[in-house]
């Protein structure tokens, strides 16, 4: 239940329960009063009858006397008797110290024979006759002591009971509000404080109300902040690593350039052949630094929200253009180049960036392929079978990988890449360690990182497979364009 509805219900509960309690307590007291009142009335009639027989004696009204004792000793606190002569003079009162005076005739004759039933007492007043003449009057008042005491006790008990019910209801509602509102809010404030202090904190609250939604939003926000923090930390470490890698990769060629430049400027005479060699080394180091800066710039651009210039291309025609021109580069490095294209359909690509992808993949394959070995380049949409130069185990993965699109593959006959290196190979500036092959150390370490970014911006994916005696495959997948 939502807190708003719950609070409304609780307010109604707090108001209605005491009202119902008061009503039932009142009914209980009223029922008691009715029962006691009947009993009290009957008892008082008996007392009236008892004393009326005594007070019918005409002699009592002839002589005034304060010494008479007309009321029983045990009823003195309850029964009051007053006698008047025929002229209205009070001639007797059972109340000690009562003043004797005349009573006006109107008052004296008012209410004769009428049994007056009051809250505190019942009373009756009657005349006494002798030979059909009034000789006096008597008035009997019987106090309703038991009735008053019972009513007072029941009223006090009812008030106490009402207060107890009200306090119990109030405390119950306060405790429920504390459990339902104050406790989770205090917990949330505590967790927020701990989270702000950098401590690990989590709230488990499975109630579907406003506070539950608030806690859910906080947990989601906290998870997002933690994820963003981890991402920022990771990016910061990546930047630090990139700076260190750039510094290292630039330091080596700069040191070589400085050394050969100093050698050229030295006064020691050098042969023309040595000068040409030194100059060639300086130029190659400069080319290396230029390539690294170009790759770094491209990697930085692709790491942002860079939008690809996508156009629709016909698959077979596009890949024929994309794969052309690499045969000569492989022949120059004494590597055999094999190319195959089996593609149907239309694809949405950034042509310039896809050229960069294939160039980087071929350059990387040449760098890690021994002389005399093979490099295979092929593109295959799902309508065609994969070529025989792909191992059957690799085919199972690639057939699943290329559904609803095309996969273009670069395979070389180089050494196996370990699983540890496969997980790191797309990281910027990561290079496979092979001190025996100087050519392998000539790359910038950004080629595959750039390839991965470009493929992902085409909403594609990349996969690397490597096994001993089966070669290494890098496969890039691009989905077909929607008609």
Residue 26 has pLDDT above 50, yes or no: yes
Range of weakest confidence among 63-72, 265-274, 333-342: 265-274
**pLDDT tens track for 346-399:** 999 999 999 999 998 998 899 888 888 999 999 999 999 999 999 888 898 899
Q: In this predicted structure, what is the pLDDT of residue 436?
A: 43
Which is it for strands 121-130 and 311-314: parallel, antiparallel or unpaired? Answer: unpaired
Q: What is the average per-residue pLDDT within 246-272?
A: 74
Residue 357 contacts residue 454 (beta carbons within 8 Å): yes
Distance (Å, whole) CA 424 – CA 241 = 13
Q: In this predicted structure, what is the pLDDT of residue 346?
A: 93
Residue 140 contacts residue 81 (beta carbons within 8 Å): yes
Q: In this predicted structure, what is the pLDDT of residue 411?
A: 93
Q: What is the average per-residue pLDDT within 278-295?
A: 80
**pLDDT tens track for 385-443:** 999 999 888 898 899 898 889 999 999 987 888 888 887 888 877 776 554 444 444 56
**pLDDT tens track for 87-127:** 888 888 888 766 677 888 888 888 888 888 887 888 888 89
Q: In this predicted structure, what is the pLDDT of residue 97?
A: 65
Residue 207 contacts residue 181 (beta carbons within 8 Å): no
Residue 64 banded pLDDT, cuts 50, 70, 90: low
Tokens, residue 46: 């008996």
Residue 89 contacts residue 104 (beta carbons within 8 Å): no
**Triad 452, 420, 474: Cα angle to 5°:** 35
Count of CB atoms within 10 A of residue 115's CB? 14
Q: In this predicted structure, what is the pLDDT of residue 440?
A: 46
- Greatest alpha-carbon pair distance for the chain in Å reads 179
Count of CB atoms within 10 A of residue 139's CB? 20
Residue 338 has pLDDT above 90, yes or no: yes
Distance (Å, whole) CA 340 – CA 181 = 70
**pLDDT tens track for 127-178:** 988 888 888 898 999 888 777 787 788 888 888 888 888 888 888 888 877 8
- Most trustworthy range by pLDDT among 148-152, 210-214, 276-280, 339-343: 339-343
**pLDDT tens track for 44-60:** 888 888 888 888 888 88
**pLDDT tens track for 179-230:** 777 887 888 888 888 878 877 777 777 777 777 778 788 888 888 888 888 8
How far lies 397's CA from each of 123, 339, 414, in Å? 113, 21, 20
Q: In this predicted structure, what is the pLDDT of residue 357?
A: 92
Range of weakest confidence among 283-287, 311-315, 317-321, 404-408: 283-287
Distance (Å, whole) CA 56 – CA 126 = 10
Q: Which of 385, 378, 379 is nearest to 406 (CA)?
A: 379
Q: Which residue has the higher pLDDT, 6 or 93?
A: 93
Give every strand in the sheet of 471-479, ordered side by side: 336-342, 374-381, 405-412, 471-479, 461-467
Q: In this predicted structure, what is the pLDDT of residue 65?
A: 63
């Amino acid at each position: 239940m939502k807190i708003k509805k719950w609070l409304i219900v609780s307010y109604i509960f707090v108001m209605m329960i005491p009202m119902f309690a008061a009503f039932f307590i009142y009914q209980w007291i009223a029922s008691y009063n009715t029962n006691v009142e009947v009993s009290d009335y009957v008892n008082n009639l008996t007392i009236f009858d008892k004393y009326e027989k005594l007070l019918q004696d005409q002699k009592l009204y002839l002589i005034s006397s304060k010494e008479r004792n007309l009321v029983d000793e045990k009823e003195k606190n309850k029964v009051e008797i007053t006698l008047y002569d025929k002229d209205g003079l009070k001639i007797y009162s059972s109340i000690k110290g009562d003043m004797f005076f005349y009573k006006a005739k109107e008052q004296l004759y008012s209410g004769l024979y009428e049994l007056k039933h009051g809250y505190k007492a019942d009373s009756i007043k009657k005349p006494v006759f002798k030979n059909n003449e009034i000789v006096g009057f008597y008035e009997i008042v019987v106090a309703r002591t038991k009735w008053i005491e019972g009513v007072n006790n029941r009223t006090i008990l009812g008030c106490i009971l009402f207060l107890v019910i009200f306090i119990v209801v109030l405390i119950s509602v306060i405790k429920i509000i504390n459990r339902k509102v104050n406790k989770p809010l205090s917990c949330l404030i505590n967790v927020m404080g701990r989270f702000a202090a950098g401590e690990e904190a989590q709230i488990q609250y499975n109630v579907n109300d406003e506070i539950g939604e608030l806690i859910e939003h906080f947990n989601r926000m906290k998870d997002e902040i933690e994820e963003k923090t981890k991402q920022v930390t990771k990016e910061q470490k990546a930047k630090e690593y990139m700076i260190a890698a750039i510094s290292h990769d630039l330091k080596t060629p700069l040191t070589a350039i400085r050394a050969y430049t100093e050698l050229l400027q030295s006064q020691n005479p050098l042969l023309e052949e040595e000068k040409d060699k030194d100059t060639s080394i300086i130029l190659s180091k400069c080319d290396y630094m230029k390539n690294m800066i170009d790759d770094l710039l491209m990697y930085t651009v692709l790491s942002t929200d860079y939008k690809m210039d996508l156009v629709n291309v016909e698959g077979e025609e596009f890949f024929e253009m994309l794969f052309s021109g690499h045969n000569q580069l492989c022949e120059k490095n004494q590597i055999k180049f094999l190319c195959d294209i089996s593609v149907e359909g239309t694809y949405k690509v950034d042509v310039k960036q896809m050229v960069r992808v294939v160039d980087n993949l071929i350059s990387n394959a040449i760098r890690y392929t021994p002389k005399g070995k093979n490099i295979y380049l092929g593109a295959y949409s799902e309508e065609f079978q994969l070529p025989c130069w792909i191992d059957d185990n690799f085919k199972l993965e690639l057939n699943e990988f290329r559904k609803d699109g095309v996969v273009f593959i670069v395979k070389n006959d180089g050494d196996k890449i370990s699983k540890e290196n496969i997980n790191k190979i797309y990281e910027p500036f990561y290079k496979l360690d092979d001190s025996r092959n100087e050519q392998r150390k000539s790359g910038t370490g950004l080629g595959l990182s750039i390839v991965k970014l470009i493929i992902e911006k085409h909403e594609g994916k990349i996969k690397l497979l490597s096994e001993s005696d089966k070669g290494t495959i890098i496969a890039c997948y691009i989905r077909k364009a929607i008609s």
